């Protein structure tokens, strides 16, 4: 797609495309790859480009260095001269009279990827190279479908309660409760202690833990496999799995039928699959829409 996103001046992220795979790297390792305003804006632009570029079939998300995937938000002190009472009043006003497009004044939405990121109905693989804490953990929960972590350096830490005295303004806790079983989720959240990659695999927070030198090769192996599959079918499958998770069985099945109908009738890949089977030849994956 556009070259603008690739040529734009990036100071804290790296965005690249190779064949059908996009790579997004949080690139501020001296500051623990924190998610400050610049990082969030640059990541948001990359997410939108990945979604709109029909040649891109999978994205790998990682952090620079071998210590931090992302340590979370860049927590800033209040402006000089601001009293504690003024700070609380500002927070209360933002909560009650939040600007349009926010949830109680926070620029997040429970149906998108968090922050200013759109919900991406295309596959995302996270190569978690180090600590994923606070909003760094939240980013993996909301954006990554398949999560591979470094055995030596990756740590997973909710952090909102033990470090900030809150429960988190975004739906991080909700995501954890949905993505883990009850016992594992409650222990992880209520104790609020860091866990390593092996424990994260055990409780189902991530898929695999691999040695550091195998992290990116393994993520690329998965992404390359995904890139060989029909992209329209995968796009509808992911959207169905996300939208259908809160539906009852009958509603979910009906939604699945509709998505399958769209993927089957309006995808050249679906038509070619039938022809390839009859002609006993490899199928051709194009990702093109069939009218």
- CATH superfamily, with its number, for domain 4-76+115-227: 2-enoyl-CoA Hydratase; Chain A, domain 1 (3.90.226.10)
Measured distance CA(11)–CA(16) in Å, rounded: 14
Q: How far is CA 220 from CA 23, 75, 103, 128, 157, in A?
A: 10, 33, 36, 13, 25
The pTM score is 0.86
Per-residue pLDDT tens digits of the chain, which is 291 residues long: 444 556 567 789 999 999 999 999 999 999 999 998 899 889 989 999 999 999 999 999 999 999 999 998 776 666 677 787 877 787 777 667 766 555 544 554 434 444 556 688 999 999 999 999 999 998 999 899 999 999 999 999 999 888 777 787 677 898 899 999 999 999 999 999 999 999 999 999 999 999 999 999 999 999 999 999 999 999 999 999 999 988 999 999 999 999 998 888 888 988 888 888 899 999 899 889 887
Where in the chain are the domains? 4-76+115-227, 231-279
CA–centroid distance for 75 within its chain: 21
């Amino acid at each position: 797609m556009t070259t603008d996103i690739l040529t734009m001046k990036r100071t804290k992220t790296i965005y690249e495309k190779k064949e059908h795979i996009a790579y997004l790297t949080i690139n501020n390792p001296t500051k623990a790859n924190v998610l400050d305003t610049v990082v969030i804006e640059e990541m948001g632009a990359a997410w939108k480009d990945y979604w709109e570029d029909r040649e891109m079939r999978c994205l790998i998300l990682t952090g620079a260095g071998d210590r931090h995937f992302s340590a979370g938000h860049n927590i800033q002190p209040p402006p000089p001269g601001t009293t504690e009472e003024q700070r609380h009043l500002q927070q209360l006003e933002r909560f009650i009279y939040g600007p349009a497009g926010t949830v109680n004044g926070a620029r997040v939405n429970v149906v998108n990827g968090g922050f200013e990121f759109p919900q991406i109905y295309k596959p995302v693989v996270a190569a978690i190279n180090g600590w994923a804490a606070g909003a760094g953990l939240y980013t993996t929960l909301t954006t990554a479908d398949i999560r591979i972590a470094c055995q030596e350096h990756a740590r997973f830490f909710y952090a909102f309660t033990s470090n900030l005295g809150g429960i988190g303004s975004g739906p991080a806790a909700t995501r954890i409760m949905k993505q883990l079983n009850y016992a594992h989720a409650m222990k992880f959240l209520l104790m609020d202690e860091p866990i390593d990659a092996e424990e994260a695999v055990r409780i189902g927070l991530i898929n695999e833990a691999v040695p550091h030198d195998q992290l990116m090769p393994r993520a690329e192996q998965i992404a390359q496999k995904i890139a060989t599959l029909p992209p329209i079918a995968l796009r509808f499958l992911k959207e169905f799995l996300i939208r259908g998770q809160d539906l009852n069985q009958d509603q979910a099945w009906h939604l699945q039928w509709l998505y399958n109908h769209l993927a089957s009738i309006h995808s050249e890949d679906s038509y070619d699959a039938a022809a390839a089977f009859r002609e006993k030849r490899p199928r051709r994956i194009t990702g093109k829409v069939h009218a």
